[in-house]
Amino acid sequence: MTSVTVRGIEGREITVQTGLFIDNEFVPAQNGATLDVENPTTATHLATVSAAQKEDVDLAVQSAKKAFATWKKAEPSTRRELLNKLADIVERDGPVLASLEAIEGGFLYRDSLGLHVAQAVENLRYFAGWADKVDGTTMSIAQGLAYTRRQPIGVCAAIVPWNTLMIFFWKLAPAIAAGNTLIIKTAELTPLWGQKVGEMIREAGFPPGVVNILPGLGSVAGQALSEHDEVKKLAFTGSTATGRRIMQAAARSNLKKVSLELGGKGPSIVFDDADIENALLWTTIGITASNGQICAAGSRIYVQDTIYEKFLAEFSKRSRDAVHGDPLLPETTKGAVASSAQLDKILSYVEKGKSSGLRLLHGGEKLPGDGYFVANTAFADVGQSHSVMREEIFGPVASIASFSTEQEVIDKANDSDLGLNSAVFTNNVNRALRVSEALETGTVTVNCWGLVHANTSFGGMKQSGFGRDMGHEALDGWTVTKTVKYNLLN
Distance between CA atoms of 347 and 370, rounded to whole angstroms? 16
AA identity, residue 199: E
Looking at the DSSP assignment, which residues form a beta bridge with residue 487?
A: 144
Distance between CA atoms of 40 and 271, rounded to whole angstroms? 38
- 170 sits in which H/E element: helix 166-177
In the residue annotation, 156 being an active-site residue is answered as no
Residues 436 and 424 sit within 8 Å (Cβ to Cβ): yes
Distance between CA atoms of 148 and 136, rounded to whole angstroms? 5
Strands annotated E in 246-366: 257-261, 267-270, 300-304, 359-362
Looking at the DSSP assignment, which residues form a beta bridge with residue 212?
A: 183
Distance between CA atoms of 327 and 145, rounded to whole angstroms? 60
Residues 146 and 484 sit within 8 Å (Cβ to Cβ): yes
Residues 247, 461, 222, CA angle at the centre, nearest 5°? 30
Work out whether the CA dihedral 50, 55, 57, 60 comes out positive or negative. Answer: negative
In the residue annotation, 406 being an active-site residue is answered as no
Q: Using DSSP bridges, classify how beta strands 257-261 and 233-237 pair: parallel, antiparallel or unpaired.
A: parallel
Residues in the chain, overall count: 490
Distance between CA atoms of 127 and 131, rounded to whole angstroms? 6
Distance between CA atoms of 370 and 366, rounded to whole angstroms? 10
Residues 6+ apart with CB under 8 A from 317: none
Per-residue CA distances from 244 to 168, 178, 239 (Å): 21, 26, 9
Catalytic residue among 295, 331, 365, 406: 295
Residues 6+ apart with CB under 8 A from 490: none
Catalytic residue among 261, 314, 391, 406: 261
Q: Which residues are known catalytic residues?
A: 261, 295
